[in-house]
Structure 1
Amino acid sequence: MDLSIIIVTFNSESVIGDCLDALGKWAGRTLVVDNASKDNSVALVKKRGVELKELSQNTGFARGANTGARLAKGKVLCFLNPDCLPSEELLKRGYSAVNQARALAAVPFLYETGGLKTDGRQPGYTRLKLCHDILSTAYPIKKFDKRIKNISGYHDRNWSWPHGACFFIKREVFLKLGGFDSRLFTYMEDVDLGYKLWRAGGGLVQLNHEIRHQTASGSNISIAHRRWLMTAGRVKYGKLHYGTLWAVMLGMAALPGLVIKGLLK
């Protein structure tokens, strides 16, 4: 298979070893791009003899993944988070789906921590959905999730996006689309890519196979820091797609809740 596997790490020592072990012989087709980790991530990758690109500073997931795509040689790329445990069967199915079908990208189901099974192909974003995501991260409104998500027009069913934890895409297509938008440091870059795929007329295949995903374990950062990154990514996405004023207003609305949560945890 003409496949390259790209893993972006940042302080990922707790999971990268298991990920590379799960890849087995496919670790030889893997390129790890490290975003200036301060832990033992780099040492663990070097110990296993996997190809490594060390960056001098943390450039964010989008830039790191784009660097990997430019350096990769495979016709098909598999973007893989370090907190995932792939199987050889998954790699074969993902490669075949992208290489043989008309679809431009393919995604597995994600078997998340706690037993939740998540579709890798997610429905498109709307203003309402983005607003809900931002505010639910900042405030305790999750008990209303079901009601909000049942509102007509919550999802944009015209397009879908690939969950960034694991997906397959032709290298030529990825580079032609400009890769991930590097203005999105981390979070929402996969959503933005899905929108670009749709605009390019490409389909997204949901594979009948799953991958184990150790949810939110790819980078050893605090819960509060992760909330800030998620919100910042969503606000930036809002700015790019819906305008600066809308994004600023939503960001300011979320700020008090994020501050309070940050102080409590």
Structure 2
Amino acid sequence: MSPTQPAGASPVPGRFVDGEDRCLPLAVVTVTFSPGGHLQALLDSLELATRRLTYVVMADNGSTDGAPQAAAGPRVELLDTGGNLGYGRAVNAAVRHLAPRRRSGEIDGEFFLVVNPDVTFAPGAIDELVACARRWEDAGAVGPLIRQADGSAYPSARAVPRLGIGIGHALLGRIWRNNPWSRAYKAGEEMGRERAAGWLSGSCLLLRWADFEAIGGFDERYFMYMEDVDLGDRLGRAGRRNVLCPSAVIEHDQGHVARNYSAVTVPAHHASAYRFLADRLPGWHRAPVRAALWVGLRARAAVLRVRAGLGSGR
């Protein structure tokens, strides 16, 4: 307890997390692209998600709905990225933007939070993430239990896929949903226990500043999708852990962006899947495998386009 806190008094917002005086605001980065009403719901949920103050940076990738502009305020800053940079580049831009505040001691210098604008936090969720990170001193990233709209838990903490499984899932996951490679990719998704995983969903991550910077942040070659798998894999290769914290709960409107911008997201998903797998197939002797993977993903995209056309009646 702080020496200025009377015995039995209620916690002061922004202080006393895990029995320590944590008065510095926690930086929260969210990437916006016409998020609609989801954004305000996210911001409203922050108040009960933590007893500490937060400082939000909205890295805006060219919203046209006015939602980020309307949400800006004293502790909610709008950062215009100058165009649709994609997810990872926008997060990295916000991190660079926050660096002077971190150096001057205006925000927490140990942790920051990255969260999608279509997420809402359950009460106490952020404090649970911080407490978990303190229990796992080698955790570079900590993620919550993600509830979907139907109340089910989204499998947000998985092993990094072995190459054969990753290729099979990338090529067939949307075409033949019960294929053996996708089943293997999704196996072992225990969501009720605090544990280490190979990677965590990027929809909500508590990150250690030092670890994020040590691996160079998000790989900006990924426009969207797979950047969280890549980040988790690189943290693991650097000797840091990705930890699932199921006592922290969020709700995510899964696929909000994909539903609205599928003409962009489907090609982006294929490009990112290729990037992730091709990076792990280096060398001239693996060039035929990379070429076959590229052709396979293009064929998968063609099948999905045909299915979408049939579904729309065209």
- Specify the TM-score bucket, using the shorter chain as the normaliser: 0.7 to 0.9
Q: Distance in 2 between matches of 1:99 and 1:128?
A: 35
Pair 1:248–1:135, CA change in 2 (3 A): closer
Whether contact under 8 Å (1:35, 1:55) holds in the other structure is: yes
Gaps of 5+ in 2: 1-21, 103-107, 190-195, 283-289
Whether contact under 8 Å (1:6, 1:65) holds in the other structure is: yes
Other-structure match for 2:170: 134
Other-structure match for 1:174: 212
> Which entry has the higher C-alpha Rg, 1 or 2?
2
TM, length-normalised to structure 2: 0.74
Gaps of 5+ in 1: none
Q: Distance in 1 between matches of 2:295 and 2:277?
A: 10
Other-structure match for 1:78: 113
Q: Percent identity?
A: 22
Whether contact under 8 Å (2:27, 2:54) holds in the other structure is: no
Other-structure match for 1:96: 131
CA deviation profile, 1:36-67 (whole Å, cap 9, x unmatched): 11222322322686111011110000100111
Whether contact under 8 Å (1:107, 1:206) holds in the other structure is: yes
Q: Distance in 2 between matches of 1:221 and 1:167?
A: 24
TM, length-normalised to structure 1: 0.86
Counterparts in 2 of 1:1-265, with a 5 A limit? Answer: 1=22, 2=24, 3-24=26-47, 28-46=54-72, 50-72=76-98, 73=102, 74=108, 75-99=110-134, 101-102=136-137, 103-136=139-172, 138-139=174-175, 141-142=176-177, 144-145=178-179, 147-150=180-183, 160-209=198-247, 210-218=249-257, 221-243=260-282, 244-264=290-310, 265=312
* 1:242 shift after superposition: 2.3
Whether contact under 8 Å (2:42, 2:120) holds in the other structure is: yes
Whether contact under 8 Å (1:69, 1:77) holds in the other structure is: no
| More contact order relative to length (CA 8 Å, sep ≥ 6) | 1
Q: Distance in 2 between matches of 1:220 and 1:52?
A: 25
Runs (4 or more) in structure 1 with deviation over 6 Å come to: 153-158
CA deviation profile, 1:82-113 (whole Å, cap 9, x unmatched): 11101351111212222453222211110012
* 1:229 shift after superposition: 2.2
CA RMSD of aligned residues (A): 2.8
Q: Distance in 2 between matches of 1:167 and 1:57?
A: 24
Bigger helix fraction: 1
1:78 aligned counterpart, secondary structure: strand
Q: Distance in 1 between matches of 2:183 and 2:256?
A: 30
Whether contact under 8 Å (2:167, 2:293) holds in the other structure is: no
